[in-house]
Amino acid sequence: MKPVIAISIGDLNGIGVEIALKSHDIIKKFCTPLYFCNRSMLEQAAKLLGMELPNDLEVEYVEGKFTIKPGKISKKSAKLSFASFCKAVEMTASGICEALVTLPINKEAWMRAGITYKGHTDYLRSYFKKEAIMMLGCNKLFVALYTEHIPLKKVASSIKKKPLAKFLLNFYQSTTPILPVAVLGVNPHAGDGGALGDEEKIITKAINKANKKLKKEIFFGPVVPDTAFTPEFRKKVSHIVALYHDQGLAPLKALYFDESINVSLNLPILRTSVDHGTAFDIAYKNLANIQSYLNAVDYAIAHALDAS
């Protein structure tokens, strides 16, 4: 039987529903997608897109009724996207669905609607009481983030031996990276031996601690950040650990923006997502690229089949 994949619908004022409807006939060949929304809202979205709602669309009811306003921040749309996500998480955690794929939400809309979580990953951490790891990329290159949505001025003080070593161990144990895994330095030139900063000494100790625990050389570094994404270096590795958000994601998106996905690791469930936002500027203009979504679904299906 094909695996059942939960699809949380995201912000209906953005491009998510367009991506889902355009992709339905492709992904249904390999899985049973279960969409968390309600038919009334999906029919409204399809009409705006000039599309017919597929007859075989399986929908798990989520309450919410409002007029879709393409490209607009809306509390009602935020609340539906949050309710969709929460129910999808519950049904995946219970085993009814075998993996979860999330369409993009708008973080400002969530904030305005009084939703206390900054995004999907924050909620997953709270729900499962686990330190979810954010990994983004594609089969050509994946990047895991040690710190995520924190101010840049707090990054250096967040680099501590024990937490970083634990992060590396959790990362290795929750995925199957092609070895070895590069760990970036945080300073220019990876500190230049201490001339430009000494956080690399802590990174080195964390790498050594993780490798000792694993009894093999899994991680290496600290790697000079500005050389880690060159063609030559990418021939050596398929997985990189970045110390902060833009260090890892700016070059990754420059290389593989349309292909990349977001994967939540170190959780009891697998959650994947597109690696882009709601793209309000092109909402309901039939311009959305579906490749990231297809890759996210493909990754989820592969995990579900491996688990079975």
In this prediction, residue 192 carries a pLDDT of: 86
pLDDT of residue 196: 85
| H-run or E-run covering 227 | none
Quote the CA–CA distance of 196 and 167 in Å, as a whole number.
25
How far is Cα 147 from Cα 158, in angstroms, rounded to an integer? 8
Tens of pLDDT, residue by residue over 169-210, are 999 999 877 789 999 999 999 888 888 889 999 999 999 999
Is 135-260 in the same CATH topology as 1-130+267-308?
yes
User: Are the CB atoms for 149 and 158 separated by under 8 Å?
Assistant: no
Q: In the chain, what percentage of residues exceed pLDDT 70?
A: 99
At residue 221, the pLDDT reads 95
Residue 135, pLDDT > 70, answer: yes
CATH H-level, domain 135-260: superfamily: Isopropylmalate Dehydrogenase (3.40.718.10)
Which pair of tokens denotes residue 189?
């030139």
CATH code for the domain defined by 1-130+267-308: 3.40.718.10
The 10 Å CB-count burial string (b at 16+, else e) for 64-93 is beeebbbeebbebbbbbbbbbbbbbbebbe
pTM: 0.92
Domain boundaries, the chain: 1-130+267-308, 135-260
| Host H or E run for residue 254 | helix 245-256
Give me the mean pLDDT over the 233-240 stretch: 94
* Beta-ladder partners of 100: 6, 271
Helix and strand counts by DSSP (H, E) for the chain? 11, 11
For residues 91 and 6, is the Cβ–Cβ distance under 8 A? yes
Farthest-apart Cα atoms in the chain, separation: 64
Average pLDDT of the residues of the chain = 95
Task: Provide mean pLDDT across the span 286-305.
Answer: 94
Q: What is the pLDDT of residue 308?
A: 65
